[in-house]
Amino acid sequence: VLQNLSQTPVLRELLKKAKMPGTTIKIESPELCMLCCFSFKQEPQLIKLDQPGPLTLAMHQFVTEMQETKKEVVTPKELFAQVCKKAIRFKGYQQQDSHELLRYLLDGMRAEE
């Protein structure tokens, strides 16, 4: 899940911008427009970002490390610690479904908006 997220260009760009509080971002989605009726034009969304929360900062750090490091192994220790604070069910290293991790991670970051 984390490797896939780190390879998502839109998410990487948003995380870079989210690190700078007070930034206004414009979200346009040409892919979504192609799925809609061709006559329907979707307007871009403008969102002003506040100070990012600890989960968002940990995700930014992880994605940056995945993209820019020369290390063979990247450990998401801080990101996992932040996920565990939002979703206590992940503490204890019991087996969990990857879609549950994805849901808690994205919901947690959205709650920090």
pLDDT per residue rounded down to tens, the chain (113 residues)? 888 999 888 888 888 887 776 777 666 665 554 445 455 556 777 767 777 889 999 999 999 998 887 778 888 899 999 988 888 888 877 777 888 889 989 898 888 86
Domain assignment present for 79: yes
Residues in the chain: 113
Alpha-carbon distance of 113 to 109, in angstroms, equals: 7
Total domain count for the chain? 1
Domain assignment present for 14: yes
Which residues constitute the domain of residue 12? 1-21+51-111
Alpha-carbon distance of 86 to 44, in angstroms, equals: 30
Domain assignment present for 38: no
Residues 60, 82 contacting (CB under 8 angstroms): no
Residues 22, 49 contacting (CB under 8 angstroms): yes
Domain assignment present for 93: yes
Query: CB neighbours of 15 closer than 8 A, spacing ≥ 6?
Result: 56, 59, 60, 63, 64
Domain assignment present for 26: no
pTM (two decimals): 0.73
